Amino acid sequence: MKIPYSRQWIDNQDLREVEKVLKSDFITQGPKIDEFETEISRYVNSSYCIAVNSATSALHLACLALGLKKGDLFWTSPISFVASANCGIYCGAEVDFVDIHEDTFNIDVYSLEKKLHKAKTIGRLPKVIIPVHMAGQSSDAKKIYELVKPYNIKIIEDASHSIGGTYNNKKIGSCKFSDVTVFSFHPVKIITSGEGGAIVTNNKNIFNKVRLLRSHGINKNPKLFNNKNYEDWHYEQIELGFNYRITDIQASLGISQLKKIDVFIEKRNELAQKYYSMLKDQPLYLPVILDNVKSSFHLYIIRVKDKKKHKTLFDYLRQNGILVNLHYIPIHLHPYYKKLGFKKGMFPKSEKYYSQAMSIPIFPQLKNFEQEFICEKIQEVISK
């Protein structure tokens, strides 16, 4: 028996929708992309959406649209996939990190407040901050917004884990406290389009900029042509853009998946509650979800109180076919980031988290007997 930490749920309806597109006139750059974008905006209550080929591309385009460039500084969390930091470096900007809160694994607002005061004192404030909604739980978006607003710092919510979650009873992605929100549709995420991502915003200028950069910086709208004496074949590259396009095949799968998202979220929350019930008396730290948040539970992360048992438990579970994972190695500890000057000890809460954390399986198709088996194997190690 092999139990992954997460996996996609593809049903016959998904297959039928993809097949329709494969038999249609457009398998890319067609009408399904607009439809997917409209449905995402409707679901999260944003004004605009641009679908792209990955969340990494979405983060990069968001940074560019907000004007991040060489000489600028941006901040993010050390506990995330490296894309949350790489995206700004792609723009030539410098990265720094804000340590996490031990309970939520998100940016700690008290650490952020101290870091902002220090940055103001030395005259080195960030242009952009990228809070990560780790494991599906929203960061304290309102507090972060209130802290950075006086400094005119732009906010990109990295919500790669958290489509379908809520903050203050509003869908993550409504952009009430941010300029941009980014989603991921990788197969292990809440919904999937195979690979894929999306950018949502309420700012029309950001929307237009991202849409242009998504496809080589090419404009085909005659109203915006520099050359007013154009022929029917005319188009103009007006920015240095990229090929970050998503296909109609992927969009059709995403549309079908989006119809089931609330079912997926409820199932994940049910599984999380079962874990709480079965593991509450064990020597573990279990996820803490804030009262004003509904998590999508992309991940269910336990932390082992006895650090000496951390690797033992990880190895034992994998030996028994439970394919646990560790999300994530702190970004500043990777060799590339050490070359940029980051060192062990700079973000102690993130490093402590890394020494304890483990993602155990959670996905809608997880069976009761599988969940019971997982908990039994955990107890066999940590109860000794």
Identify the CATH assignment for 8-258 out of 3.90.1150.10, 3.10.180.10, 3.40.640.10, 1.10.150.300.
Answer: 3.40.640.10
The average pLDDT across 162-173 equals: 98
Q: What is the DSSP letter of 321?
A: T
Q: Does the structural domain 261-382 have CATH classification 3.90.1150.10? A: yes
pLDDT band at 1 (very low <50, low <70, confident <90, very high): confident
Q: Does pLDDT of 384 surpass 90?
A: no
Q: Quick one: which of 203, 184, 208, 192 has its CA closest to 87? A: 184
Same topology between domain 8-258 and domain 261-382? no
pLDDT digit string, tens, across residues 265-319: 999 999 999 999 999 999 999 999 999 999 999 999 999 999 999 999 999 999 9
* Cα-Cα-Cα-Cα dihedral sign, residues 276, 280, 286, 289: positive
Give the tens place of pLDDT for each residue, 55-85.
999 999 999 999 999 999 999 999 999 999 9
> Which residues is 51 bridged to in the sheet?
198
Which pLDDT score, from 0 to 100, does residue 141 have? 98
User: What tokens does 373 get?
Assistant: 């088996």
Residue 206 has pLDDT above 90, yes or no: yes
Res 227: pLDDT = 86
Residue 238 has pLDDT above 90, yes or no: yes
Q: Angle, nearest 10°, between helix axes 55-65 and 204-214?
A: 120
Amino acid 61: pLDDT: 98
DSSP 167: E
Percent of residues, the chain, with pLDDT higher than 70:
100
State pLDDT tens for residues 30-49: 999 999 999 999 999 999 99
Using left for φ > 0, alpha for ψ between -120 and 50, and beta otherwise, residue 196 falls in left
pTM: 0.97
Domain spans, the chain:
8-258, 261-382
- pLDDT tens for each residue of 104-160: 999 999 999 999 999 999 999 999 999 999 999 999 999 999 999 999 999 999 999
pLDDT given for residue 2 in this prediction: 97
Nearest to 8 by CA among 365, 374, 371: 365
Confidence of residue 4 (pLDDT cuts 50, 70, 90): very high
Contacts 24+ apart (CB under 8 A), 280-287: 282/378, 282/379, 282/382, 282/383, 283/382, 283/383, 284/378, 284/382, 285/356, 287/135, 287/137
What is the per-residue pLDDT for 379? 97
